[in-house]
Structure 1
Amino acid sequence: MANKGTLPQETLTDILSRLPVKSLTRFQSVSKPFSALINSPAFISAHLRRSSRHSSFFFRHFNNPSGSNFSFFLNNNQIGDVEVPLLGCLIRFPKIVGSCNGLVCLDISSCYARGFVLWNIARKQYSCLPSPRISDSRRPFWMVSTGFGFDRKKNDYKVVRIVSFGCEKDESPVVMAEVFSWRTFCWRVIEASIGACAIHEGQNGVVVNGGLHWLGNSAGKSGIQKFIVSFDLDTEEFRKIPIPDFPAGICVKIMGFKGSLALAFYPAKEVDVHSRHGRPGVADWIEFCVWDECDGADGKCWTKLNSIQLTTVGYPVGVANETGLIIKKLMEGQGAQFILFDPSNQYYRGMHICDASYSCDVHSYVESLVPVSGGGHDQVIEEEPSECCDIALLNCESCLKLNHKRSNGNLPTCTTKKLALPFLLFVLCVLNWHLLKDSTSPPFLSSWPCATTLGLKTRRYCIKPSLVHSAVLGHFWDSSLVP
């Protein structure tokens, strides 16, 4: 029974679960019981269930060739810019792999999806994932596809990386796959039982009904066959889903619509397709199909839901809350305009989104307290990295070590262990110095073993030799030791 003057635990939980993440983050400092409650798995799930009723979506767009902005478009038509983690240290703009339950997965590598970050925008936390395991220097990388989704049965968030290696003219493509588990915080190589096929590079897996989906193709007897590659996040098995035939010059985009897998067909801009205005290269229609139960030979088929006619060039960029198709229209002399179209009732309306003339993609989003690192791993970063970090050193592990949370003033355990060997070498040098007191200068200044000689890779330790020297001289130099 609750003490006099205090609320019952159930009532307190119900009240707090209605608050935004920003307020809950502040309340964590009120008391340890508050902090324990807010960070408990039960409360995080309860808060997520409420937040999911008010889900929104956000855009990644480029305003100009040299700048990138992440912007929100909320259900109440409010727009807000988001500060992207590590943006100042990257050699290219981050790519959004996916968004699920408030966690956003970013690809921060320069190529081939070699570095990932899990980011909770509402909590202003991110975590750099360990490096993927698949790497074959004997075969050049050909194409890499990625996806991010939630395994409901195991309560686990997973990043999927599918690698297609280059092959000789008479060889079949070699495809390998690996999965990162949010709970175990590590990668596992799995069997990619999809045969000799190629998954279109640059696309992200679309999450529908507990599975990730990509568009793929393979060479058959009758020519190039196109299909959907589906990956079950629970069983971690691949399968192929046939898609309707469509003529050359037609683009296809996979989407999720009201819990079903959907396809949007539209003409490519570079194809000589004449619109009602007679201008070549204008896509003035979009056809929408959904994967549904029917009496087909395989028990399933595609059903045409609806189509939309456009007065100018346009193409789908995403789905808003699985209820509406977001279409980007290119207006001559006016930049880009966005409309929200519901294929089920043909209702559409304009969206007041800032200009995104260069590039744009849309992802669903919901505020949540889901931590960026599961399984009790202390890999959370709450501060932006130093602006002086070396881009050449930047990878998924170095970001973690250079920019780890320093609220208690201590280095993370993993970094402390990796610094132990250089400082042990320093101690040995000092001992050697005492044995050579007839020397006019400290021996380690001229014979300090470099990283290459010792087999210590600078990328691995995330520290430049010059920084090691500065740290050693600044913290350990004692003039009284000079002979």
Structure 2
Amino acid sequence: MLDLPQEIIINILSKMPTKSLIRFRSVCKHWQRLITDPGFIEIHLNQSVGNKSSVIITMDKLDLYSVNYDKHDDNMDIVKLDNPFLQFHYSIISVVGSCNGLLLVDLIKSRSSLSMTFLWNPSTREYRRLPHLPVEFKGHDFSSWALVHHPKRKDYEVVRIVRYDVDNGLRNHSYRVEVLVYILGTDSWRRIGDSPWHIDNGRLPAQLVAGAPHWMGTTRDLSRQIIVSFDVEIEEFQVVELPNNLGDAGWEFEFRLGVLDGFLSLFHFAYAEYLDVWVMKDYGIKESWTKLFTVTQQPMLQYYYIVSSPFELLRNGEILLLESVDNEPRKRMFYDPKNQSFRELKVLDEFDWFVMGSYIGSLVPIEAEDSFEGRQG
């Protein structure tokens, strides 16, 4: 194979799994240079995204797993990941962002409420701790996160939106919503300014569409619900309008955002009644919202709730859609729109576990301050 033309070698290697390529780096110096070349990393990443390798990250207490469930049956590959964060003695671990094989991980020590945030590539086992924010927020309510790729700078950025109370001297405190951006290339935070919108639930993951993170939000006077996106190139917020004919979109309804087949998707859930699924066929055009299907199965909607981040998991179009309300451990359900049927996602039945979202392995470097693999050797 070493005698083959370079383009053929690249073509063959770009189709290999990330885990294999990491081993191949030790074959010879030529392969090591090739596999770590930014151009090859981009080619391999595009192959992985194109193949829709469906891997999800789950956890139980302190353990992290990758679960390959891209099959049409209940067979799967479950791999317990080497967790480099146990040394920090955290109480809560959350994966708050995912982009091109990189994970944004937030660790919280419950007694002190102190948190540490890391970028991590589980495939290469590199990680980097993000520096402290340039400002201290007292009494902050919650943070919204997003991990995005800046196409022009070819760099990765973390968007953090912090809502915090402002003591105005009155009984009714007001609040502000401030935006900060971390740039991996400079390893530093920048304050962007205030957000004109309120993010509804900062604990829900942002959905990446057209290179921008999206959240459900409302106007600051709470009079209208909208979809809020953040353009990383111009560092400004944009509004994506909800579809018409949503019916009675009162506060008893829940909205979730997702990505189905690359389209921005809206899940409109009326507890115990119905669940409508919409996709925006032409991004940014309100009139292009199209209702894909409605779920009305009873009693399923009475005992299950919509997951925090619905997403298309399998190549046959099944969607991870619902989770049980009362069961311990919780049950998660696939929904097949073609057959209008549910089936259970069976993973780690003896534990309560959490779905962090879709994930693909990649060779994207972090220029890590530490390598778990190196320390273990």
- TM-superposed CA distance for 1:75, in Å, is 0.9
Amino acid in the other structure paired with 1:248: W
Q: 1:96 to 1:333 in 2, by over 3 A?
A: closer
2:258 paired with 1:255: yes
Aligned twin of 1:316: 306
Larger strand fraction of residues: 2
CA distance in 2, matches of 1:257, 1:98: 18
* Structure 2 residue matching 1:304: 3-state secondary structure: strand
Amino acid in the other structure paired with 1:13: I
Structure 2 counterparts to residues 220-235 of structure 1, below 5 A:
220=221, 224-235=223-234
Aligned twin of 2:209: 208
Aligned twin of 2:278: 289
Aligned twin of 1:78: 76
Amino acid in the other structure paired with 1:291: M
Larger helix fraction of residues: 1
- TM-superposed CA distance for 1:37, in Å, is 0.9
CA distance in 1, matches of 2:85, 2:30: 33
Q: 1:173 to 1:181 in 2, by over 3 A?
A: same
Q: Percent identity?
A: 28
Q: Is the 8 A contact 2:162 2:178 kept in 1?
A: yes
Query: Could you list the per-position Cα deviations for residues 236-261 of structure 1 after superposition, in whole angstroms to 9, with x for gaps in the alignment?
Result: 21123333551332222111122222
**What is the aligned residue count?**
356
- TM-superposed CA distance for 1:299, in Å, is 4.9
Which structure carries more relative contact order (alpha carbon 8 Å, separation 6+)? 2
Structure 2 counterparts to residues 1-400 of structure 1, below 5 A:
6-52=3-49, 53-62=51-60, 68-76=63-71, 77-80=75-78, 81-110=80-109, 114-136=115-137, 139-167=138-166, 168=168, 172-194=174-196, 197-218=198-219, 220=221, 224-243=223-242, 244=246, 246-268=249-271, 283=272, 285-292=274-281, 299-300=286-287, 302-310=289-297, 311-312=299-300, 313-317=303-307, 318-321=310-313, 323-330=317-324, 335-343=329-337, 346=340, 349-355=343-349, 358=352, 360-373=354-367, 379-383=369-373
RMSD across aligned positions (CA): 3.3
* Structure 2 residue matching 1:212: 3-state secondary structure: strand
Q: 1:291 to 1:104 in 2, by over 3 A?
A: same
TM-score, normalized by length of structure 2? 0.81
Q: Is the 8 A contact 1:288 1:343 kept in 2?
A: no
Structure 2 counterparts to residues 446-457 of structure 1, below 5 A:
none
CA distance in 2, matches of 1:288, 1:12: 43
Amino acid in the other structure paired with 1:320: E
Query: Could you list the per-position Cα deviations for residues 291-332 of structure 1 after superposition, in whole angstroms to 9, with x for gaps in the alignment?
Result: 3459x9x85464332112343322333203595420234398
- TM-superposed CA distance for 1:143, in Å, is 2.2
- TM-superposed CA distance for 1:170, in Å, is 5.8
* Structure 2 residue matching 1:115: 3-state secondary structure: strand
- TM-superposed CA distance for 1:43, in Å, is 1.0
Q: Is the 8 A contact 2:149 2:211 kept in 1?
A: yes
Larger Rg: 1
* Structure 1 residue matching 2:19: 3-state secondary structure: helix
Structure 1 residues 202-211 or 69-78, which shifts more? 69-78
Query: Could you list the per-position Cα deviations for residues 76-128 of structure 1 after superposition, in whole angstroms to 9, with x for gaps in the alignment?
Result: 34131323321353322211112221111111244889522122122222222
Q: Is the 8 A contact 2:329 2:352 kept in 1?
A: no
Query: Could you list the per-position Cα deviations for residues 29-84 of structure 1 after superposition, in whole angstroms to 9, with x for gaps in the alignment?
Result: 2332221111001111121122221411314243xxx5554341331341313233
Q: Structure 2: which 5+ runs fail to align?
A: none
- TM-superposed CA distance for 1:178, in Å, is 1.0
Q: Is the 8 A contact 1:61 1:356 kept in 2?
A: no
CA distance in 2, matches of 1:359, 1:334: 10
* Structure 1 residue matching 2:45: 3-state secondary structure: helix
